Chains A and B, each alone.
Chain A
Amino acid sequence: MTTVPLRWWRDVEIILPVLLLAVTTVYLAAAFQVSSPFSTDLVDASFMPKLVAGLMYVALLVVLRDALRRRRAAGGGDGVDDRASDLVAPLKVVALTLAYVAAFQPLGYALATVPYVFLLFQVFRFEDRSHLKRLAYAVVITAVFYGLFAGVFNIRLPLPEALS
Chain B
Amino acid sequence: MSEFAVEILAGFGALLDPTVMAYMVIGFLIGAFFGAMPGLTAVLAIALLLPLTYSLDVATALVMCASIFMAGMYAGSITATTINIPGAPSSTMTAIEGYPLMQQGYGANALGHAALGSMIGGVIGALLLILLTPLAARASLLIQTPGKFSLVLFALVVIVIAQREAIPKGTVAVLLGIMIATIGVDAMEPVARFTFGTELLVEGIDMMPLIIGTFAISEVLAQVAEREDKRALRLDDGSLPRIARRDFLPLLSEIRAIGWVTYVKSAVIGWLIGVLPGAGGSMAAFVAYVEAQRRSRRPDLFGKGSREGIAAAESANNSMCGGAFVPMLMFGIPGDPTTAVVLGVLMINGLQPGPRLLDTQLELIAPMMAALLVSALVLIPLTLFLFGPYFIRIVSIRKAPLYSCIAVVAMVGAYVATFSIFQMVLALVFGVLAFFLRRAGYPIVTLLLGFLLGPDLEQYLRRSLSLNDGDPTILLTSPDSLFFLLLTAVFYWFMVVRRPQLPAAG
Contact indicator A63/B172 (Cβ below 8 Å)? yes
Cα A142 to Cα B409 in complex, Å, equals 10
Q: In the complex, what's the smallest C-beta–C-beta distance from A90 to chain B, in angstroms? A: 4
Partner of A145, one of B399, B412, B435: B412
Interface string of B83-115 (1 = CB under 8 A from A): 000000000000000000000000000000000
CB-nearest residue of chain A to B187: A45
Given contacts A39-B189, A90-B225, contact A101 B424 (CB under 8 A): yes
Instruction: Check if B215 is an interface residue, CB within 8 A of chain A.
Output: no
Given contacts A94-B428, A121-B404, contact A59 B172 (CB under 8 A): yes
Contact indicator B182/A52 (Cβ below 8 Å)? yes
Instruction: Give chain B's interface secondary structure class.
Output: helix
B-facing residues in A52-109 (Cβ within 8 Å):
52-53, 55-56, 59-60, 62-63, 66, 83, 86-87, 89-90, 92-94, 97-98, 100-101, 104-105, 109
Q: In the complex, what's the smallest C-beta–C-beta distance from B463 to chain A, in angstroms? A: 9
Contact indicator B462/A43 (Cβ below 8 Å)? yes
Contact indicator A124/B404 (Cβ below 8 Å)? yes
A-facing residues in B154-175 (Cβ within 8 Å):
168-169, 171-172, 175
Cα A38 to Cα B190 in complex, Å, equals 9
Q: In the complex, what's the smallest C-beta–C-beta distance from B299 to chain A, in angstroms? A: 37
Given contacts A90-B435, A116-B408, contact A157 B224 (CB under 8 A): no
A-facing residues in B215-229 (Cβ within 8 Å):
217, 220-222, 224-228
Contact indicator B172/A20 (Cβ below 8 Å)? yes
Q: In the complex, what's the smallest C-beta–C-beta distance from B184 to chain A, in angstroms? A: 11
Size category, A interface: 35 or more
Contact indicator A35/B191 (Cβ below 8 Å)? yes
Size category, B interface: 35 or more
Q: Which residues from chain A contact B176 at a C-beta distance below 8 Å?
A: 20, 56
Instruction: Check if B489 is an interface residue, CB within 8 A of chain A.
Output: no
Residues of A within 8 A of B (CB): 12-13, 16-17, 20, 24, 27, 30-31, 34-39, 41-49, 52-53, 55-56, 59-60, 62-63, 66, 83, 86-87, 89-90, 92-94, 97-98, 100-101, 104-105, 109, 113, 116-117, 120-121, 123-127, 137-138, 141-142, 145, 149, 153-155, 157
Instruction: Check if B194 is an interface residue, CB within 8 A of chain A.
Output: yes
Contact indicator B428/A101 (Cβ below 8 Å)? yes
A-B contact pairs, 29 of them (CB 8 A): A13-B441, A16-B440, A20-B176, A31-B194, A34-B193, A36-B189, A43-B461, A45-B191, A48-B457, A48-B462, A49-B182, A49-B193, A59-B171, A62-B171, A63-B169, A66-B168, A90-B224, A92-B224, A93-B220, A97-B407, A101-B425, A104-B421, A105-B421, A121-B404, A125-B400, A137-B401, A141-B401, A141-B408, A157-B412
